[in-house]
């Protein structure tokens, strides 16, 4: 199997352990806060000290759970998951959390990320007698962990499994009533830890912690295992793997995460405003009006407009495109034709802000080019004199194997086109992207600590048929002692 193949899991995960309160509601609220990370399915698994309870269903969080479902999810500890839709639609066998009972106890697993050696591991586990019900990564991790739990304690078992799975993962795991959080040794996907009045929470993004009126403590560190006390009284930390460099996904900061989340110590909104300012510094152009593509371009456009306004006080920042908030993300539409329709359905120009004017349209990224092409067209139809496009990320030239559903290489408009060719393809008067260095700067990370696979074509993981951007060693162990905290 090609290592990048198989369903990628672009998702949101959460886990909570509380003193004396059912976990179902807080988990349900946090999944609402993480809904942008996945709209395909939602699920919760809890444990009441005796047995596991689970409810997983296709659809949005609000549709997947009824009051009785939450009622039935007994116990003060649990994990939850929202799953992103994949190309080609819905795959119920991959809905999560994955839960199963083994001789070594009841396991529940929620995964965000994508492994690059699933095929290998699955073959090995199958030859040892493990039977699989889905073709996802998560089940492979669960079986491997269950196997390791037969002859080691929890910490060692997790460490052994981490040593065997390669790729990106942020996991929340339940082993009986213990809730764990694990982040891959390069910290590719986000995961953070927070404190509640009566317990602790692990979540893909800090916005989920805010929703529960909790306090963000910190990001889970790359290669770290965090174990929550089942009674909500504390947590233990084990730095199981330590690598010299990280491979944080820059696209979380650019597009995927909520602007009100703090990821790797940076408020996403501020990072995006800085990216907008950098965009002005690198490629500012005279304009009458600066306009975001809602909602993804908003923070970029506000940073860009601020910087532009410092030079020319007449530049106006205007919302010239109105969004129909009931239309989901364009990528849910499986065919190109439907995607084009979706853009028109989603956005409508406000003529008076556009007519007879030079417009600078700001978005976070160009993937296939569908959105930009349609919007440039729409703005011209609405009377724009000139349309200049400014993009808060570098050109996306290669697919993501690490967990963001980005499209295949053939579909990426910039994969085999120069910026001038992309400009011509989307029909803008001018087009500028942001440089990779500006991105690293704005999100406060060195280039060496970022995963830049989709903008360089060189990956920090060992993907079959693709280049790597670093020495790929299997992770180096640093011992299983509890880290200071």
Binding site members: 249, 296, 363-364, 400, 451, 454
Q: How many C-beta neighbours within 10 Å does residue 426 have?
A: 21
Q: How would you class 465 by CB atoms within 10 Å of its CB: exposed for 0-12, middle for 13-18, buried for 19 or more?
A: exposed
Name the binding residues for [4Fe-4S] cluster. 249, 400, 451, 454
Q: How far is the CB of 6 from ligand AMP (least distance, A)?
A: 17
- CB nearer ligand AMP, residue 181 or residue 303: 303
Q: Distance from CA of residue 329 to its chain's centroid?
A: 14
Q: How far are the Cα atoms of 156, 278, 342 from residue 432, in angstroms, in the given order? A: 49, 12, 25
- CB nearer ligand AMP, residue 53 or residue 298: 298
List Cβ neighbours of 129 (8 Å cut-off, separation of 6 or more): none
Q: How far is the CB of 400 from ligand AMP (least distance, A)?
A: 8
Please count the residues of the chain. Answer: 485
Q: How far are the Cα atoms of 231, 291, 317, 327, 395 from residue 364, in angstroms, in the given order? A: 42, 12, 17, 19, 11
Q: How far are the Cα atoms of 98, 99, 110, 122, 145 from residue 140, in angstroms, in the given order? A: 10, 12, 12, 6, 9
Pick from 327, 270, 263, 247: which is nearest to 295 by CA? 327
Q: How far are the Cα atoms of 136, 153, 154, 164 from residue 157, in angstroms, in the given order? A: 21, 6, 5, 11
**Binding-site ranges for ligand AMP (CB under 6 A):** 255, 293, 296, 329-331, 363-372, 404-406
Angle, to 10 degrees, between the axis of helix 298-311 and the axis of helix 268-283? 50
Q: How far is the CB of 72 from ligand AMP (least distance, A)?
A: 33
List Cβ neighbours of 55 (8 Å cut-off, separation of 6 or more): 43, 44, 64, 65, 69, 72, 73
- CB nearer ligand AMP, residue 14 or residue 454: 454
Sign of CA dihedral 79, 257, 5, 373: positive
Q: What angle (nearest 5°) sits at the alpha carbon of residue 335, between those of residues 333 and 340?
A: 75
Annotated active-site residue in 4, 6, 9, 11: 11
Name the binding residues for Mg(2+). 296, 363-364
Q: How far is the CB of 185 from ligand AMP (least distance, A)?
A: 24
Determine if residue 147 is left, alpha or beta; phi over 0 gives left, psi from -120 to 50 gives alpha, anything else beta.
alpha
- CB nearer ligand AMP, residue 30 or residue 86: 86
What 3-state class would DSSP assign to 308? helix
List Cβ neighbours of 445 (8 Å cut-off, separation of 6 or more): 246, 248, 250, 264
Cα R_g (the chain), whole angstroms: 23
Q: How far is the CB of 293 from ligand AMP (least distance, A)?
A: 5
- CB nearer ligand AMP, residue 160 or residue 329: 329
Based on the residue annotation, tell me whether 94 is a catalytic residue of this protein: no
Q: How far is the CB of 157 from ligand AMP (least distance, A)?
A: 33
Q: What are phi and psi of 13, to 5 degrees?
A: -130, 155
Q: How far is the CB of 170 from ligand AMP (least distance, A)?
A: 17
- CB nearer ligand AMP, residue 144 or residue 364: 364
- CB nearer ligand AMP, residue 224 or residue 364: 364
Q: What are phi and psi of 14, to 5 degrees?
A: -150, 155
Q: How far is the CB of 373 from ligand AMP (least distance, A)?
A: 8
What 3-state class would DSSP assign to 382? coil
In whole angstroms, give the CA distance from residue 328 to residue 148.
41
Active-site positions read 11
């Amino acid at each position: 199997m090609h290592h990048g193949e198989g369903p990628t899991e672009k998702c949101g995960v959460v886990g909570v352990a509380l003193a004396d309160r059912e976990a179902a509601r807080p988990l349900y609220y946090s999944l609402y806060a993480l809904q942008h990370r996945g709209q395909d399915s939602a699920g919760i698994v809890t444990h009441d000290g005796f047995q596991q309870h689970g409810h997983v269903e296709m659809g949005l969080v609000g549709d997947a759970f009824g009051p009785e479902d939450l009622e039935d999810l007994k116990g003060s500890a649990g994990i939850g998951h929202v799953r992103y839709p994949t190309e080609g639609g819905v795959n119920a066998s991959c809905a999560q959390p994955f839960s199963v009972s083994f001789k070594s106890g009841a396991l529940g697993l929620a995964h965000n990320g994508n492994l690059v050696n699933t095929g290998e591991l699955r073959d090995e586990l199958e030859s040892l007698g493990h039977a699989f019900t889905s073709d996802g990564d998560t089940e492979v991790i669960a079986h491997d962990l269950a196997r390791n739990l037969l002859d080691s304690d929890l910490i060692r078992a997790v460490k052994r499994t981490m040593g065997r799975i390669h790729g990106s993962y942020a996991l929340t795991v339940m082993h009986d009533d213990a809730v764990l959080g694990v982040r891959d040794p390069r910290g590719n996907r986000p995961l953070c830890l927070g404190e509640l009045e009566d317990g602790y929470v692990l979540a893909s993004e800090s916005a989920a912690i805010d929703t529960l009126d909790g306090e963000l403590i910190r990001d889970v560190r790359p290669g770290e295992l965090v174990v929550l006390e089942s009674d909500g009284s504390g947590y233990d930390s084990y730095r199981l793997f330590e690598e010299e460099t990280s491979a944080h996904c820059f696209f979380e900061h650019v597009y995927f995460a909520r602007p009100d989340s703090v990821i790797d110590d940076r408020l996403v909104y501020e990072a995006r405003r800085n990216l907008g300012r950098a965009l002005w510094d690198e490629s500012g152009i005279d304009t009458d009006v600066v306009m975001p593509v809602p909602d993804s371009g908003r923070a970029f456009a506000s940073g860009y407009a601020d910087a532009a306004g410092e030079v020319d006080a007449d530049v106006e920042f205007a919302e010239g495109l109105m969004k129909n908030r009931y239309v989901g993300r364009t990528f849910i539409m499986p065919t190109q034709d439907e995607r084009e329709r979706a853009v028109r359905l989603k956005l409508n120009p406000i003529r008076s802000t556009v007519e007879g004017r030079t417009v600078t349209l700001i978005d976070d990224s160009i993937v296939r080019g569908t959105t930009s092409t349609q919007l440039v067209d729409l703005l011209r139809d609405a009377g724009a004199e000139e349309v200049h496009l400014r993009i808060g990320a570098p050109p996306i030239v290669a697919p993501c194997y690490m967990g963001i559903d980005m499209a295949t290489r053939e579909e990426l408009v910039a994969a085999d086109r120069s910026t001038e060719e992309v400009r011509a393809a989307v029909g803008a008067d001018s087009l500028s992207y942001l440089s990779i260095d500006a991105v690293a700067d704005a999100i406060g990370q060195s280039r060496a600590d970022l995963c830049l696979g989709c903008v360089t074509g060189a990956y920090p993981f060992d993907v079959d048929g693709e280049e790597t951007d670093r020495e790929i060693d299997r992770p180096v162990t640093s011992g299983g002692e509890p880290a200071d905290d």
